[in-house]
Amino acid sequence: MDVAAKLTSKGQVTVPKSVRDALGVKAGDEVVFRVTGNYAVLSRTADFLELAGSVEVPATLRNVAWDEIVRRVRNDRAATRR
């Protein structure tokens, strides 16, 4: 779907209703602009709670403090560089 909109003198643009409906965004929602070259892609921000369970965590890393995980990863990386 290609939909045009005008940029105001303040650099603002109104996201057309058809685009808001397609993305499922409403007033107050945050969106992301991803710029690549001469193109910008508008998307709604990810709801991180929807991602819960999408990445399997090894049993050895469950219920481990974050700083301990970082320490282990750094040690593992250092060991592979030797």
Report, as an integer, the average pLDDT of 19-43: 92
Asked if the model's pLDDT at residue 9 lies above 90, the reply is yes
Q: How far is CA 61 from the centre of its chain?
A: 24
Condensed to tens digits (0 to 9), the pLDDT of residues 60-78 reads 878 889 899 899 889 999 9
pTM higher than 0.85 for the full model?
A: no
Cβ distance 23 to 1 under 8 Å?
A: no
Q: What is the pLDDT of residue 51?
A: 72
